[in-house]
Structure formats: C-alpha cells, structure tokens
C-alpha cells in the first residue's frame, strides 16, 4: 500500500447517472498515469438521494467494456462513515469546527449587508461570511452543517502547496481565507462532505497521484489543508482538461450528453470511444513524463 513506491491513481465517479465521454476521458487518464502502477476505482455515493444501484452497476459494466480493470473490493464512500466521523472528531478536538444552520438565502442576505465586503465565489459557491462562527459544536443540531474555521485551521498549517503535473503551486493563508473561507466538512444530514470524504479516502487507499478535472483545481486547496490538519500525506495532482461538446459546453453540465451506453448501442466500439476523446495512443493523450 502507501509507501511501497508504486504510483496509485483512482477514478472516483458518483453513481448519479450514466457515464459519458468526459468520464471515459477521466478514467482512461487515471489508468494511463498509473501504468506502471495501480489504478483503483472508488464509488462516491455519499449523496444517498441521488445515487442509484443501477448506475453503480452501469459504471462497472461500462468501464470493463472500455477495457479497464481494477482491484476488488471497490471502496464505497457510503460504507466509510465511521472514518469520516473519526476525522471530524479529530478536527473538533483541535477546536477548528463549528455548526452552521445558514441556508443559501441567509448567506446571500448576509453578504448584501452594507458592512460586508464584496461577495467572492469560492470552489463551493459564495465564500461564507462567517455568520455562525461564534457557535459551539456542543450546540450542533440535525439542521446544521459543520464548517471548518479557516482562520484557525491556517494558523495551524501556514501557507499551502501542492504539485500539479510536476509544477509546484502555493497559496497564502490570506488567499485561502478570503477566496475559499470556512468550507463545509459535513453537510446537513450527511455526516461528511465531498471534501472530507475524498481527502480521507485518497489517503486510506494510498493514492499517490490524484487525477481529476481542472474544475476541481481550487478545491484541491481544501484537500491539502485537510491533509495537513489530519496528518495525511499530500499526493501529487494531475488536473486534466474537461471534454467539451462542439459548442464548447462541458459535457458534465449537459443533461443530454450522450452516455457511453448510448454510443455503444449505436455501434461505437471502445477504440472508437478512445479516438473520440483523443486517446488513441496519439501524442495528445497524457503521458507521465511531467509527473
């Protein structure tokens, strides 16, 4: 596992729909960058309302059809709640968490108050103005989310850094506080959030190279902060381009993006799919030289 010197990547889809070309690109990128090494699959199913067993089954089938293979058993985030609770408890013991009952409308209203500065968009939407920052964890109720106090957290860690495609990126404590802020680590009724789950699980699986879309680049600062607070290793990153349609729209944002299944039923072969996303062993496909 971790520390064995092997490159280990993962593809981590949420079973909330059928895989499309953008997913194929992400999965093939992860698999190629793990060669030689190990490519893992992880099912990110913490959003119980939107995840479906049928979509999970379709993920396995479609990836196998594409020619991918991975070790079993596959990690499922819905089975990892104790690990997330333990990490949250650790952060709580450090005095870094607070409960927050604000809804989006409350946040917008607070930000429009005259004494507030300009609204800033962070990786999770509007940077939280800190309305609930004075609340204590002892008063957390079922209607609350749990937020990380960014000021206090960054006082522990100092500035952050990670490697993306072999290049070092840095972020000052001030930039995190003003541009990302007090992020949610446990959504109301969920027991975790994407940020906490992905950080804890990448470490648990010994992932050495996280590959994912460039849209998650800014979110990586949150994960690097959590790694430091939880004393987990920071992997290397490879934020890849997003596959777009002819009009330049991201496939993931389109409801009618054609699924791999539809393309297959219409006669596409796995090598045709690879070709459609520039993955036919040509120079446009990613190589590991810069990792």
Chain residues that interact with ligand GLU, rule: CB under 6 A: 12-14, 44, 198, 212, 216
Neighbours of 73 (CB within 10 A): 6
Q: Which residue, 287, 277, 171, is CA-closest to 224? A: 171
In our burial notation (b when 16+ CB lie closer than 10 A, e otherwise), range 122-156 reads bbbeebbbbbbeebebeebeeebbbbbbbebbbee
Residue whose tokens read 């007090």: 182
Our CB check for ligand GLU shows the closer of 183 and 198 to be: 198
Contact 167, 114 (CB under 8 A): no
Our CB check for ligand GLU shows the closer of 12 and 145 to be: 12
Taking the complex as a whole, the smallest distance from the CB of residue 12 to ligand GLU amounts, in Å, to: 4
Which H or E element spans position 197? helix 194-204
Taking the complex as a whole, the smallest distance from the CB of residue 159 to ligand GLU amounts, in Å, to: 23
Our CB check for ligand GLU shows the closer of 38 and 44 to be: 44
Our CB check for ligand GLU shows the closer of 99 and 223 to be: 223
Our CB check for ligand GLU shows the closer of 14 and 61 to be: 14
Taking the complex as a whole, the smallest distance from the CB of residue 180 to ligand GLU amounts, in Å, to: 16
DSSP 136-161: -GGG--TT-EEEE-HHHHHHHH-SEE
Question: How do beta strands 38-43 and 75-76 pair?
Answer: parallel
Contact 178, 212 (CB under 8 A): no
Taking the complex as a whole, the smallest distance from the CB of residue 101 to ligand GLU amounts, in Å, to: 26
Taking the complex as a whole, the smallest distance from the CB of residue 194 to ligand GLU amounts, in Å, to: 7
């Amino acid at each position: 596992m971790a520390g064995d010197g092997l490159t280990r990547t993962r593809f981590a889809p949420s079973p909330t729909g059928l895989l499309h070309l953008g997913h194929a690109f992400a999965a093939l990128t992860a698999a190629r960058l793990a060669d030689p090494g190990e490519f893992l699959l992880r099912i990110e199913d913490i959003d119980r309302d939107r995840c479906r067993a049928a979509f999970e089954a379709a993920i396995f089938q479609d990836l196998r059809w594409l020619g991918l293979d991975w070790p079993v058993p596959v990690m499922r985030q819905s089975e990892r709640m104790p690990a997330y609770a333990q990490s949250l408890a650790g952060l709580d013991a450090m005095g870094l968490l607070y409960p927050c009952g604000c809804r989006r409308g409350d946040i917008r209203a607070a930000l429009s108050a005259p004494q507030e500065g300009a609204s800033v968009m962070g990786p999770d939407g509007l940077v939280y103005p800190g309305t609930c920052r004075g609340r204590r964890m002892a008063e957390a109720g079922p209607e609350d989310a749990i937020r990380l106090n960014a000021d206090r957290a960054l006082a522990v860690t100092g500035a952050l850094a990670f490697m993306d495609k072999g290049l070092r990126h840095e972020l000052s404590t001030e930039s995190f506080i003003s541009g990302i802020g007090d992020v949610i680590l446990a959504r109301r009724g969920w027991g975790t959030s994407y940020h906490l789950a992905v950080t804890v699980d990448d470490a648990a699986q010994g992932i050495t190279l996280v590959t994912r879309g460039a849209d998650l680049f800014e979110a990586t600062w949150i994960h690097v902060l959590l790694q430091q607070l939880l004393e987990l290793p920071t992997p290397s990153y490879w934020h890849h381009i997003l596959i777009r349609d002819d009009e330049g729209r991201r496939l993931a944002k389109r409801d009618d993006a054609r699924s791999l299944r539809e393309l297959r039923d219409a006669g596409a072969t796995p090598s045709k799919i690879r070709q459609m996303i520039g993955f036919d062993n040509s120079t446009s496909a990613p190589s590991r030289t810069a990792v």
